[in-house]
Amino acid sequence: MNKEQYLQKLRENLNGLSAEGAAEIMQYYTEYFEDAGPEREDAVIEELGDPSVLAAQAAEALGQTRTDVPGAPRPLFPSLPGFLKGRGTAQKNSAYRFREMDLEPFRSVYVRVRNCPISMKESADGRYGADVYLLLNEGETAQAGMEHGVFTVRISGRAISHRNQQGNQYVKLYLPAKEYDRIELHSSNAPVTSDCPAAIRSKLKIDTSNSAVNVSGIRDAEKIHADTSNGSIHFRSLKCADLIADTSNGSITVSGCRFTEELKADTSNASITAELEGSESDYRVSADTSNAAIYINGEKRGKSYSSGGGNRKVVLDTSNGKINVTYKPVLLKDI
């Protein structure tokens, strides 16, 4: 049985459900196959099992049976089989899927996954949405949803055996440009991107490894902290009190950012580029490198440099990489 035949059997076994309910189920499992990719088609068919049994489970999860009255109250759609794959004891080589684009509003986010790209974007319609696809080792579980008032995505448990994660797993968050209390995004060996113009009352914390971090648009945060290794960090158009970038063997770029307290950038074997609004007298700059040079507005200043007596502190430190600092005049329309 191939994907098309499986979905046809599933569709046939949904006869008697409301048109809306059947359409929701078919849309979900069609996307489930598409996300897994052609190479995992047989594995997904084996994972989902008999389509007639799946249809009955899906109908039950929707609060419907073939004799139900359409429109009857029902549980949340993510309780469909497949959405909760990975809850309880994860089966070997299982996948977890969560997709809900009309979540209840929340004020904080916590994501902890591995080997998985994370992106946070502004939603087009002002709704709160999440699209999650995770690959699990045997013994692991995954979950997505509200946890103590925080929208949470996490992998838990201890893997019985590890395997190379094949496939395009991901966590995609779609948030309105509103105020949030705290956002933490943790991954490994995969990029993390945040370009939602949100206000964050306390901290945006991002960490990964061996991959890049790109953050733009965040405003009015107490602290923005990005941490990676062997990957670059790019901060653009941010407003915060403290701005911190830590990496190794990756470049750091800061442009169009406004901070009121401190900018700290630390790397090795790579360059640091900082574009600062205002003049040199607005900052207290301390920059150090080894086996390279420091440039201030294009002028070479050696390997160690300090200047200024302003209120905003800038600490730039690298090795075997150059440091470029430029000052950009503040336009009246930007104030």
Per-residue pLDDT for the chain (335 aa), expressed as one digit of tens each?
A: 899 999 999 989 888 788 877 887 888 788 778 766 777 788 788 878 888 888 887 776 665 544 443 333 333 333 344 443 333 333 445 889 999 999 999 999 999 998 899 999 999 899 999 999 998 887 888 999 998 889 999 988 766 555 545 458 999 999 999 999 999 999 999 999 999 999 999 999 999 999 999 999 999 999 999 999 989 999 999 999 999 999 988 999 999 999 999 999 999 989 999 999 999 899 999 999 998 999 999 999 999 999 988 999 999 999 989 999 999 987 544 53
202, 130: one domain: no
One domain, residues 201 and 329: yes
Q: How many domains does the chain have?
A: 3
User: Do strands 233-236 and 213-216 pair parallel, antiparallel, or not at all (unpaired)?
Assistant: parallel
If asked whether residues 230 and 126 sit together in one domain, one would say no
* 120, 151 Cβ separation under 8 angstroms: no
What's the CA gap between 308 and 279, in Å, rounded? 9
Residue with tokens 């900052």: 283
Amino acid letter for position 47: E
Listed residues 9, 41, 69: the one ending a domain: 69
Structural domain contains residue 76: no
Say yes or no: 65 and 208 in one domain.
no
Do 162 and 106 reside in the same domain of the chain? yes
Q: Is 291 within a domain?
A: yes
Mind spelling out the 3-state secondary structure of 258-290?
A: EEEEEEEEECCCCCEEEEEECCHHHEEEEEECC
Structural domain range at position 122? 83-175
- pLDDT score, position 63: 55
Whether residue 120 sits in one domain with residue 256? no
For the entire predicted model, the pTM comes to 0.72
Give how far Cα 107 sits from Cα of 110, 129, 271, Å: 11, 13, 36
> Alpha-carbon distance 180 to 108, whole Å?
6
Amino acid sitting at position 250: G
The pLDDT assigned to 315 comes to 98
Residues 10 and 113 in one domain: no
**With contact defined as beta carbons under 8 Å apart, do 25 and 152 qualify?**
no
Rounded Cα–Cα distance for residues 194 and 185 (Å): 9
Predicted confidence at residue 85, as pLDDT, reads 36
> What is the signed CA dihedral for 231, 237, 240, 245, rounded to 10 degrees?
10
Cα–Cα distances (Å) from 180 to 58, 196, 259, 295, in that order, read 34, 11, 19, 38
Same domain for 181 and 310? yes
Q: Are residues 171 and 181 in the same domain?
A: no
Domain boundary among 122, 150, 175: 175
Q: Are residues 166 and 186 in the same domain?
A: no
Crossing angle for the helix pair 41-48 and 19-36, nearest 10 degrees?
Answer: 140
Residue 46, Cβ neighbours under 10 Å: how many? 10
pLDDT at 141 (0 to 100) = 87
